[in-house]
Amino acid sequence: MQMEGKFTLKAPIQKLWDTLLDPETLLSCIPGAEKIERIDEKTFDCVVKQKVGPISVKFKFKSILSKVEPPTHIEVDGEGEDIGKAGHFVQKSVVDLRQIPGGEVEVSYRTDATIVGKLAMFGDRIMRAKAKKVEEEFTKALQERLKNVV
């Protein structure tokens, strides 16, 4: 399941970078995020709750910053599973920050996520629709948050 997009913000790139990597930011922006803890330089411990109608899942997973090039490029690998064993989840995201004229920064992201197990019995119809929503909410929240960076 691939998702990508971009948005621009008016803020100093370094500040955006710092906020972006701040667990606090992610916690407040990722829909359903219950816990995002930085356990070392590269690793985050996360718990994210998601709900599709009657179906609720709670993914416990580790996100590892597999590649970090401040202040322009991050790669994150996540893997974990639902505590109720409804599914196993693997995800890789790449985020690029690019200075563009007018003191603006273009934030572009590419995410590739796979969910297997019981949740996948559904086929991908519902899951893709849900993922699309999560993506929209996340980027919206993130933009809100980053606006206030300035």
Partner 1 sequence: MKDFEYFAPKTVEEALSLLSQYKGEAKIVAGGQSMLVLMRQGLIAPEYVVDIKGISALDYMTYDERLGLKIGALTTHRAIEKSPIIQKHFGVLSEMETNLATIQTRNWGTIGGNLCHGDPAGDPVPVLMTLDAKLKLKSLSGERMVAMEGFSKDILEVDLEPDEMLIEIQVPVPRSHTGVAHEKLMVMQGDAGIVGAAASITLKSGNGICEDARIVLSNAASIPLRAKEAERCLIGKAINEDLLTEAGEVASKEADPPSDVHASAEYRREMVKVFVKRAAKRALEMARLR
Partner 2 sequence: MAEKKQGVKKQRMKKQDIAKPTVILKEEAYSVIGKPIPRVDAKAKVTGEAKYAADIEVADMLWGAITRSPHPHARIIHIDTSKAESLPGVKAVITGKDFGGFRWGWSRETRDEEPLATTKVRYLYEGVAAVAAIDEDIAQEACDLIEVEYEPLPGVFDPFEAMKEGAPLVHEDRKGNICVEYHWNFGNVEKAFAESYLVREDTFQTPRMAKGYIEPPAVLAYWPDSTHLTVIPAKGSPYFPYRILSNCFNLPLSNVRIIQPFIGSDFGGTKNDMVSCDFSAPMLSKKSGKPVKIVYTQFDELTTCLRRHPMWVTMKTGVTKDGRLKAIQTKVISDGGAYTRMSPLSNFLTGICMGLPYKLPNFKTDVFCYFTNNPSSAAMRGHGIYHTRFAGDVQMDMIAEELGIDPVEMRLRNAIENPKPGKIYETINKLHLATCGVEECIEKAAQAIQWEEKKKAERVKGSKAYGIGFACGTYLSGTKLSGHNACAAMVRICEDGSVNYVTGATDVGQGSDTVMCAMVAEVLGIGLEDIDIKRVDTAHTPVDPGTYGSRVTVLAGEAAINAAKDAKRMLLEAAAKEFGVKPEEMNIKNKKAFVKANPEMSIPWARLVRMACYTTPGMVIIGRGQSSRGISTYGLADFTTGIGDIGTNYSFTAQAQEVEVDLETGVVKCTDNSVIAHDCGFPLNPPAVDTQVVGGAYHPGVGAALYCEFEMDKGLTLNPNLVDYKLPRAYEAPMTKVIHVITNDPFGPFGAKEASEGSTCTAAPAVINAIHHATGVWIKDLPAKPEKVFWALKEKREKGKK
For the bound state, the minimum distance from the C-beta of residue 123 to partner 2, rounded and expressed in Å, comes to 4
Binding site partner of 55, from partner 1, partner 2, none, Cβ cut-off 5-8 A by kind: partner 1
Binding site partner of 101, from partner 1, partner 2, none, Cβ cut-off 5-8 A by kind: none
Specify the length of the chain in residues.
150
Binding site partner of 88, from partner 1, partner 2, none, Cβ cut-off 5-8 A by kind: partner 2
Contact 143, 9 (CB under 8 A): yes
Which spans in the chain are helix H? 13-20, 23-29, 118-121, 125-147
Residue among 1, 55, 129, 150 that touches partner 2 (CB under 8 A)? 1
Piece in contact with partner 2 (CB under 8 A), picked from 47-55, 65-73, 121-129, 130-138: 121-129
Q: Give dist(CA 106, CA 82) in Å, integer.
A: 33
Dihedral over Cα of 98, 26, 119, 78: its sign: positive
Q: Give dist(CA 16, CA 150) in Å, integer.
A: 9
For the segment 88-117, give every residue that binds partner 2 (CB under 8 A). 88, 90, 114, 116-117
For the segment 58-87, give every residue that binds partner 2 (CB under 8 A). 79, 81, 85
Shorter beta-carbon distance to partner 1: residue 67 or 128? 128
Binding site partner of 7, from partner 1, partner 2, none, Cβ cut-off 5-8 A by kind: none
Task: Give the contacts of 80 (CB within 8 A, at least 6 positions apart).
Answer: 46, 59, 60, 61, 62, 88, 89
Q: Is 43 in the site for partner 2 (CB under 8 A)?
A: no
Q: Which of 85, 66, 90, 70 is nearest to 18 (CA)?
A: 70
Q: Which residues bind partner 2 (CB under 8 A)?
A: 1, 79, 81, 85, 88, 90, 114, 116-117, 120-125
